[in-house]
Each structure stands twice: as C-alpha cells, then as structure tokens.
Amino acid sequence: MTRTRPADPSTNRSKSTGGGGGTTVMRVIVPLQGVVQGRGGLVLGSLIPCALFYFLQLYLKRHRSNPNPPTPPPSPESESEQAGQLVELPVLPRSLSRALLSPRGAGGPVYVSGRANSVLKGGESPYDVGLRKVAEDPYDELGNQNGVIQLGLDENKLSLDLVGDWLVDNAKDAILGGDELGISGIVCYQPLDGLMELKVAVAGFMSQVMGKSVFFDPSQIVLTAGATPAIEILSFCLADSGNAFLVPAPYYPGLDRDVKWRTGVEIIPVPCRSADKFNLSITALDRAFNQAKKRGLKVRGIIISNPSNPVGSLYSRESLYNLLDFAREKNIHIISNEIFSGSMHGSEEFVSMAEIVESEDLDRNRVHIVYGLSKDLSLPGFRAGAIYSYNKNVLAAAKKLTRFSSISSPSQRLLISMLSDTKFIRKFIDTSRERLRAMYLKFVTGLNQLGIECTKSNGGFSCWADMSGLIRSYSEKGEFELWDRLLNVAKLNVTPGSSCHCIEPGWFRFCFTTLTEKDIPVVMERIRKISETCKSHS
C-alpha cells in the first residue's frame, strides 16, 4: 500500500508554492488503489464518482436559497494562484437581526411551491379556452342567439327531465326518511370512502349497466367525489413520481391533469391511427413501452377508456385479453375507465374488463376499473365516482385517501334511494339510450350532409369527426386555425384532436348531448358557413 495519510498542510503549502508539478504528483496518495487494479477501473471507479460528487456539490450550492458566506481559505497567498478561484470576496456578516429588516415592509414576495407554479404555468389549452368562452357567452335559443354553442363538454342533458321529476317526488324522503338514523345519518361523520348502502347500490347499478353477467362486489368499491379524484388516487397508488402510464391516444383532455398534476407521474401517449379506426394495436403499445424503458422511465400501467373517449369505439373481447396478456408479460397495471359503459347508442356489445377478469382465473391484482354516475345517470353535479379494484393494497390505500375526496352525505342518501328505485332506473336507462341514439343519428347525419365523416362509434356523448378536408395546412397549426374559426366566427366550442393528443391533424370531438334537437340545424348551419369559406379560399 502507498501512504494513506494526507501530508501535513504546512509542508504541502511550502512545497506547492516552490515546486513544480512533479513534486505534487509524488506526494499525492492514491485514494482508490483497490478499484484502480482492474482495467478501466481508474476512470470508472474514481474519476466518475469524483466528478459526480463535484457536480452534486455545485448543484446543492446553487439550490441553497440563502448561501452561507464562503469561509475564508486558510492560505490565500498560495491558493490565489489557482485560476478561476475567487477567494478575495469580502465576507459579509450575516445581518438577520430583526431590527435591520424593515418589518411590515417589503420582504420580497413569498414563494409558492414549484408544483403550484407548474399547475398555473400550463396556461389555457384550447379545451379550457373553449369552456371559458361558453361560460362567458352561452347560446340561448331565445335570450342569446349569437352565443357560443357548447359542444365541448361531456355532459348529457337529454334525460335530465326524468331525474328532475324523480327528485321533486322523492328528494325529501330520500334524504331524511328511509333511515332510522334520521338527521344524524346525513350530518354526522360517515365513512369517508362512502356509505355501504351506496356501495351496494352502485355495484347493482354497474351490473345492470355493464351486462347482467358481471357481478360487482361492494367491498371492492371505493367511492370518491367524482371519477376525477378516482383516477388521481389510482395514479398515486400505482405509480411513484417519475413513473409513467401508457395511454392510447386520442384520449380525454382532462386525463393529463388527473394523472400528472399532483402525482408527478408521466403519460406516454400510444398513438392510434384513423386507418385502424383508432383502435389500439399491441405492437404500438409494445413499442411505446420499449421506448419508455430506453429513456429510463418505469412504466407502471396502461390507462384505457372503454367506451373510448373521444372516439366512442369499444374494445373487443379479444383486444381486452391481449391487453391483459401484455400487462402480465410486463407485470404492470391496467386502469379501465368505463364511465360511459351505460351510455351506449350503437349495436355492438360492451364488454367490461370485469367480465374478462371474472370469467377466467386471471391474476386480478393488476386490474382497476373507474366508474361514476356523472355520465350514465347524468348527474355530474353530484360528484359521485368509484374505484373498483381487485387489489387489496390498492383498496386499503384508496380508502384512506378518500379523506381528500369524499362525497357529501345528503347526495349519498339521495343516490341510494334513486339507485334502489329499480323501476325508475330501468325506465331511465331505456329512455336515455333511446334519446341518445336518436340524437347521435341526427347529428352524424347532419355532419355527413356537409361532407364531414365520423368514425363509427358505439358509446359516449360525442362523435369524432374528420374535418381534415377543411384545414388549410395539414398540421396542428391548420387544425388550430380551424378550431379558432369555429369558436370565434361560427361560435361553436368543439375540442380539437390535438387537445386529445391525436397524432393526425383535423379531427374534432363534438359532444352533442348538451343540445336539443332544435339546436342541430343551428349547429349545422354554422359549420356549413365555415366550410364554405374554407372551400372558397382554397
């Protein structure tokens, strides 16, 4: 072994001031002899860690909010030779005595957190701008004929009259009666993950909506204040900050917020193409997975929406099996958002992920279903969402996290009676589907007459329209221009494909369920004017 003790600093100084490089080399002790033995060990074992350490220190120094004054070096006369070292800085005494700072004056603005800033920085996406414009100047057949027509919000107003009638007849009994607890049943603290009666009722409703053969176990349900927090809680539970989910694109614009904002999780879009009718291909999924791995990202799961939002297509039984196989192969989770499963207007049959998982003895721990009453019961204002999971740990954690997203008890009581009124529910589902189908057909026919084709869709409140023939440049810019004209000239708020991370430009989502039948000609007329100006220009 060489010497392992550092040289005495005084001799060190005297020699280094007088001597050249050679003496310095002699005196230096090899710190890493063991590592240096092997080939390449010198570089890998010592230079790299030292360099890393150096940069780490630099980094830490930068990020100190209030840097301490540098301690004066012990031997300025020798060290000053070293180039680039500023040692002559006058050392300021720290002046933190309270008298020196003018209290109640300017102390500089107080900082908010970096993550709050990133929430704010995102600015307004076209999706937000559109919603804001509608809120500012909503169309009204009588009161405001030049207002903006809402086609950007997933909300079903077609069957609200049924809900309204039911409320008028039953609200009081639902909230106050029915339970021997009386008032304490609604005003006192209740389990934050939802009342057991409501879980039972929601499980029954889900079975009814998703096909009778599927059974949902109430004990696997966690209720949240809307599907939005349900997705966020799953994102918290399944992935750590810096991990990622694969999401087939186009996808619902709000998903970026729900999954990413507070959790630090990333979304990797898996592009689907019009040539495949925007169906997911496992090859594309696999490619995205491998690319993410190469970038060093850990993929923790896949998030699908079935029926898909915005396209409205369904996953076939076969593709669900393939997805499960893929998830098993990579040992990742699947979140299946089935919030539109009761809002079907096509002829195809909806297959829930629950049915696939139940029918065979698959390992279920990786499957999580998101549901809610906002769409299928047209009650978004009630904020009732659900996580249905087969994973005990996820359920246990999610139950505790509902302290941040619980449903208020009067709404829970009301929903319990509404869902238990089987006669009403059956009538509601039938009527709602019928009206949805009629509206969908009318709207799509209207678009077709203008030469705008939609993808074949079976569920949901929107149609996914191909307007690439109307955009001037085949790019996101062209799409954005058309969206802007639709919003500001034609006064129609639609969602552009780019907001949904669609890879092909020129696609738009039209939510038609906030309209009445009388509105359709108005919408079509407005689109026609725009398409004519587009055509006359080109």
Partner 1 sequence: MRLIVPLQGVVQGRGGLILGSLIPCALYYCLQLYLKRRRPSKPDPPSPSQSSSNLAELPRTLSRSSLSTRGSMGRVRISSRVSWVAKPNDSPYYIGLDRASEDPYDRVDNPDGVIQLGLSENRLCLDLIEKWVSANLMESIVGTEGGHFSISGIAAYQPFDGMTELKVAMASFMSQIMGRSVSFDPSQIVLTSGATPAVEILSFCLADHGNAFLVPTPYYPGFDRDMRWRTGVELIPVHCRSTDNFTLNITVLDQAYSQARKRGVKVQGVLISNPSNPVGNLLSREMLCSLLDFAQEKNIHIISDEIFAGSMYGSEEFVSMAEIVDSEDFEKSRVHIIYGLSKDLSIPGFRVGVLYSYNESVLAAAKKLTRFSPISSLTQRLIISMLSDTRFIQEYLQINKKRVKDLYDLFVAGLQQLGINCAKSSAGLYCWADMSGLIRSYGEKGELELWDKLLNTAKINVTPGSACHCIEPGWFRCCFTTLTPEDVPVVIDRIRKVTETIKSSS
Interactions with partner 1, residue window 107-166 (CB under 8 A): 107-117, 119-120, 153, 155, 157, 160-161, 163-164
**Least separation in angstroms between CB 406 and partner 1:** 5
Distance CA 32, CA 123 (A): 52
In 256-409, the DSSP E strands lie at 266-271, 299-305, 333-337, 367-372, 385-389
Residue nearer to partner 1 on the CB measure, 384 or 429: 384
How far from 519 is each of 18, 128, 131, 282, 446, CA to CA, in Å?
A: 92, 23, 18, 40, 11
Phi, psi of 385 (to 5 degrees): -125, 170
d(CA 302, CA 152): 25
- Residue 11 CB, nearest distance to partner 1 (Å)? 11
Q: Cα(253)–Cα(126) distance, rounded to whole angstroms?
A: 10
Nearest to 192 by CA among 402, 368, 42, 37: 402
- Asked if 154 and 307 count as a contact pair (C-beta separation under 8 A), the reply is no
**The amino acid at 18:** G
Closest separation between CB of residue 365 and partner 1, Å? 5
Least distance CB 233 / partner 1 (angstroms): 9
Select the span of 345-353, 374-382, 431-439, 522-530 touching partner 1 (CB under 8 A).
Answer: 374-382
Task: Please give the Cα distance from 407 to 373 (Å, whole number).
Answer: 12
Kindly tell me which of 345 and 383 has the beta carbon lying closer to partner 1: 383
Closest CB to partner 1 among residues 183, 489: 183
Q: Which of 309, 336, 343, 391 binds partner 1 (CB under 8 A)?
A: 391
C-alpha pair distances (Å), 287 with each of 40, 53, 245, 309, 529: 34, 36, 14, 23, 42
From the list 355-363, 467-475, 501-509, 520-528, the region that binds partner 1 by CB under 8 A is 355-363
Q: How far is the CB of 164 from partner 1 (least distance, A)?
A: 3
DSSP 303-333: EEESS-TTT-----HHHHHHHHHHHHHHT-E
* 531 token code pair: 């398409």
| Distance of closest approach, residue 335 Cβ to partner 1, in angstroms | 12
In three-state secondary structure terms, 459 is strand
Q: Tell me the window of 178-186, 200-208, 423-431, 457-465 that interacts with partner 1 (CB under 8 A).
A: 178-186
Q: Does 382 bind partner 1 (CB under 8 A)?
A: yes
> Is 422 among the residues that bind partner 1 (CB under 8 A)?
no
Selected binder of partner 1 within 96, 123, 136, 318 (CB under 8 A):
96
Binding test (CB under 8 A) with partner 1, winner from 125, 147, 196, 257: 257
Q: Pick the binder of partner 1 from 296, 360, 518, 538 (CB under 8 A).
A: 360
Nearest to 499 by CA among 210, 257, 180: 257
CB-nearer residue toward partner 1: 9 or 451: 9
User: Does 47 interact with partner 1 (rule: CB under 8 A)?
Assistant: yes
For partner 1, give the closer residue by CB, 56 or 489: 56
Nearer to partner 1, 185 or 446 (CB): 185
CB 214 within 8 A of CB 354: yes
Of 482-511, binders to partner 1 (CB under 8 A) are none
Return the residue of 136, 168, 296, 536 that touches partner 1, per CB under 8 A.
168
Beta strand ranges found along 191-306 (DSSP E): 221-224, 244-249, 266-271, 299-305
How near is the Cβ of 517 to partner 1 at its closest, in Å? 17
Does 408 interact with partner 1 (rule: CB under 8 A)?
Answer: yes
Structure tokens belonging to residue 5: 């003790």
CA dihedral 243, 245, 249, 251 (to 10 degrees): -100
Looking at the Cβ atoms of 511 and 524, the one nearer to partner 1 is 511
Residues 6-35 that bind partner 1 (CB under 8 A): 6, 9, 12, 16, 24-25, 28-32, 35
Cβ-contact 413, 175 below 8 angstroms = yes
| CB of residue 399 to partner 1, shortest distance in Å | 9
Q: Scanning residues 188 to 247, which ones bind partner 1 (CB under 8 A)?
A: 188-190, 225-226, 228-229, 232, 236-241, 243
Q: Tell me, residue by residue from 301 to 340, as one string, x for binding to partner 1 by CB under 8 A and - for no binding.
A: ------------------------x--xx-xxx-------
Based on the shown chain and the rule CB under 8 A, indicate whether residue 520 belongs to the binding site for partner 1: no
Task: Report which DSSP code applies to 512.
Answer: -
Q: Least Å distance between CB 212 and partner 1?
A: 25
Q: Measure the CA angle with vertex 78, ends 74 and 82; round to 5°.
A: 105
Q: Which region, judged by CB under 8 A, interacts with partner 1, from 140-148, 359-367, 471-479, 492-500?
A: 359-367
CB nearer partner 1, residue 303 or residue 482: 303
Joined tokens for residue 147: 């207002």
Q: How far apart are CA 450 and CA 527, in angstroms?
A: 8
Closest separation in Å from C-beta 296 to partner 1:
12
CA distance 76 to 206: 77
Closest contact distance (angstroms) between CB of 502 and partner 1 is 23
> From the CB of 116, what's the least distance to partner 1, in Å?
4
Please, which of residues 280-299 interact with partner 1 by CB under 8 A?
none
CB of 113 to partner 1, least distance (A): 5
Both tokens of 244, joined, read: 């990622």
Residue 171 or 522: the one with the smaller Cβ distance to partner 1 is: 171
Stretch that binds partner 1, among 38-46, 307-315, 456-464, 479-487 (CB under 8 A): 38-46
Q: Smaller CB distance to partner 1: residue 82 or 347? A: 82
What's the order of all strands across the beta sheet hosting 507-511? 453-454, 462-466, 507-511, 495-496
Within 10 Å of residue 359's Cβ, how many Cβ atoms?
12
